[in-house]
Structure 1
Amino acid sequence: MSDYFEIAYAAASDRLCLFTGTGFSKAVSGNSAPSWQGLLESVCALAPDPTTLKTALFPAGTHGVLALDEAAQVISIELVKSGKSIHDEIAAQIASLSVSGDNSAITSFLSTKSVKVVTTNYDKLLEELATPAACHSITPGLPIPRSQARVEVYHVHGSVDSPSNMVVTSDDYFRFINGESYFSRKLSTLLHENTVVILGYSLGDTNLKAILSSYKGFSRSHSISSNIFLISRSPITQHIKDYYAHCYGIRVLDNTEVHSFFQLLNLQMPEAERRLQGSVNDIRNVIFNSFEFTREYLRIETSFFEIVASIAAIGLSINDDRVVKMLGKVISTKIALTQENGAWNQYAHLARWLAYIASILELKGTSIESTYLAAALHSMTTMRSDYYVGYSWHAYSSWSNRWPNVIASNRGLIRTHIESQTSWPDALKVVRSA
């Protein structure tokens, strides 16, 4: 399944949360939004001795000795000497930003879809894109809206609407990280209950890493699939992808600009919306009313991905005994379909199904582990890396292409099982790669 279909399915079921950082604001403002360091450097000009201050904090050609929040604290102290507030000065600069360029893919999505947005940006650019009438902008220090809105934007670090409550200096960050606020609780809830897409954001923020680590502990104990995507405009190596997956349960979609992400997402929305209600009704009947998926339905490659997405849509864990029993039947039926005459496409489907589930769920210790490993062994011992009668070249291609996306711990688990159960060279070639 396309990762974009999974995200679109979450949007169609009102379970999508965007997490936006500076890169998002840069993208929608024609790159006029400043970086965090650039913003601090510009504020230095308002200090009594701006040249000395800027040189001390941001020496040319090297990194400063202080973290940016600490540099902001120093600037704040200097501005107070002139009767100025760093919060007010930053708010004044940010408030002048406006959207620019072709943002049609983003506005098309925001104009019709229900979505939650968590942002550490102070600006109101997303609200401008979504149109104020359809949007609640929720900011520390201001009343929480009681009515419903299709788009909800949570400014966890504050916004230009309330400068004094913006998280800027090290003192502000300390209070934010160590305080139990409505926004910290809300953020944790959104991570647990939604598919989260991180756009234009770095993992360097200490508070974000703490929340993501907390989420990962929750996801492991409930054996739910990884539901956080990081969209990166630059390529990211497999080692770094493995790090993100291991430490935070994040799947990385790299080489993707912000606008390209929304263009690809919009393409998937009509099909996701069409399938949503039928998939939810079907999974309820199978889980709660002892129905079974038909062989005709399971012959279709996308059926498995709909099943997994609909499990999350009705709030069940993949490790729920009823879900595991159902998935075991689904995989067993798919194996049976590979044994029919002329069913070569079924071998490729099975390989892609197994690679997909291993890319979103840490298998070790779950009750689906043994069923999965048996299916992987069947799939890998009926494939060949070249054309050969009786074996599936497409299954080999599917495993080979998707193997790097499998969670690192699952690669180790599958490799150990395959090596202990078969000497089939093409199976070993796949599991010993990446």
Structure 2
Amino acid sequence: MDYDDYKLEIISDINACMDALQAQPILFMGSGISQRYFGAPTWNDLMKYLSKTCPLITKRFEYYQQSFKRDNTKIASSFSEIYSEWAWEEEQNTRYPPEYFEEACDKDIYIKHEVSTYLDHLIESFNIEDNNFKKEIIELKKINPHAIITTNYDNLMELIFPDYCKIVGQKVVHLNYTSYGEILKIHGCSEAPETVVLTSEDYENFNKKKKYLSAKLLTYFAEHPLFFFGYSIADENIKGILSDIDEILAPNNELIPNIYMICYDKQCELKGIHPKEQLIAIDDNRSVRLKVIYASDFQWLYTALANCTPDVTVNPKLIRALLSKTYKLASQELPKQELPFNFKMLQSIADDDSQLPTLFGITQIPNHKAINTDFNFTITSLAEKLNLGGWHHVNNLLKEIAQEKDFQMKNSDNIYHIYIKTGKSGSGIHKYSNEAYKLLTKVKNKEDYNIIID
């Protein structure tokens, strides 16, 4: 297949997924993105830097690779001991903050300080205007993701998305379900070196608590399109998180339809075959099937995601503030009746979703009630009504209709479907009527059916 045709197929699939879930994407950003945009080191390069920086590490880096079988977390643990000794040498006390020499500080703080300082120094040169990937980054900024999750320590995502709120380490677990517009730094942050997950002991501790993190992220994984950038398929961090949620998201080894792994391949444009899904082993006995996208340039992917963003976007800080105050109102103030609330108004909102915007003084679109009454299904709710496993099964029924009756339901407004434009470059919401439900029921049950053209 020609790569341009491949891109069109991928973009069509992304649009279908975004349309089905009616939610902004979650971006999972790995070390490959930092390496691409500001020259961050690989794991091996970081360990090499640490081995050269400390004068007490006298053997070549290859010795440690050989001794610890290329396990960089164990190499980091070994270096941590040596860095602690170096730090406590009298002449080295000025290299680190005085508080690091207090009893309460863990001795791995010195090596984590070195890593954090090194990354902070590298990112000082990051500038979008002078960047080799300027066009890519500009498109990335347009996406307005629901949240960004990263295992990187650096502050690249904060520079690209300055209005997003940074949540570091185990604080992620304490987020309430209304969270929006956050950068979740699950392996720590260079601004707080003590939070960095670096050594084998750090990873062991992280893995013990990982199930709590995975449970917190499950809502994201289940309800949003999720895109992994800057990770390899063999990345142990990804396998670890998927291992805790695969049975919920993909029973019976089914394809997870809303999770995409973007695989960097410098030569992908020259290849005629591009697999669209891949089986990823997460341990000796289990594996998951994810969608995969091969790309050497991410601009077209970022653009595809950005085009699903509404034309009029709201600052994430405003949305977070609104959600936070609403959550506090519903969870704390209302039950205690601390304020003289208008409970009659609140009851009307509870009984009728369309009344909710009046609580915040938000103007609604004229005639929205007629549209919502006549076309009251999204593709996801239609799948639920039809007792199908997910929205992609509805898509399969629509393809079946197209083949048998030469009728592309989603290509026009008709008695089964209407398209409401909300985003850039023609993106919007596909809504379906009760007539669509009746038709798809017949198709699902292999009954005879006719198409009504109005």
* TM-score with structure 2 setting the length: 0.57
Displacement, 1:320? 3.4
Describe how 1:177-326 pairs up with structure 2 within 5 A.
Answer: 177-180=207-210, 183-221=213-251, 225-234=256-265, 235=268, 241-244=277-280, 247-266=287-306, 310-312=378-380, 316=384, 319-320=387-388
Describe how 1:351-366 pairs up with structure 2 within 5 A.
Answer: none
Q: Distance in 2 between matches of 1:28 and 1:248?
A: 30
1:137 correspondence with 2:166: yes
Q: Distance in 2 between matches of 1:4 and 1:316?
A: 25
- Check conservation: 2:136, 2:298, Cα contact below 8 A: no
Displacement, 1:34? 1.0
**What is the aligned counterpart of 1:44 among 37, 45, 51?**
51
Instruction: List runs of 5+ in structure 2 lacking aligned partners.
Output: 1-7, 88-108, 314-364, 410-439, 448-454
Displacement, 1:42? 0.4
1:93 corresponds in structure 2 to: 118
- Check conservation: 2:397, 2:444, Cα contact below 8 A: no
Q: Distance in 2 between matches of 1:103 and 1:317?
A: 45
1:75 corresponds in structure 2 to: 79
Q: Distance in 1 between matches of 2:389 and 2:13?
A: 23
Q: Distance in 1 between matches of 2:160 and 2:263?
A: 21
CA RMSD of aligned residues (A): 4.8
Q: 1:284 to 1:220 in 2, by over 3 A?
A: farther
Tell me the percent identity.
19
Q: 1:249 to 1:287 in 2, by over 3 A?
A: farther
- Check conservation: 2:276, 2:293, Cα contact below 8 A: no
Q: 1:326 to 1:172 in 2, by over 3 A?
A: closer
Between Structure 1 and Structure 2, the one with more strand by share is: 2
Map Cα deviations across residues 139-179 of structure 1 (whole Å, 9 max, x no partner): 02669688988631111111112211211011111111122
Larger deviation, residues 110-119 vs 231-240: 231-240
Displacement, 1:194? 1.5
Q: Distance in 1 between matches of 2:391 and 2:310?
A: 27
- Check conservation: 1:228, 1:250, Cα contact below 8 A: yes
Displacement, 1:28? 2.1
Q: Distance in 2 between matches of 1:258 and 1:326?
A: 29
Displacement, 1:328? 8.5
Between Structure 1 and Structure 2, the one with more helix by share is: 1
1:20 correspondence with 2:17: no
Q: Distance in 2 between matches of 1:324 and 1:259?
A: 26
Q: Distance in 2 between matches of 1:242 and 1:372?
A: 28
Describe how 1:335-350 pairs up with structure 2 within 5 A.
Answer: 335-338=403-406
1:10 corresponds in structure 2 to: 18
Instruction: List runs of 5+ in structure 1 lacking aligned partners.
Output: 289-309, 347-367, 376-434
- Check conservation: 1:229, 1:251, Cα contact below 8 A: yes
Q: 1:191 to 1:314 in 2, by over 3 A?
A: farther
* TM-score with structure 1 setting the length: 0.59
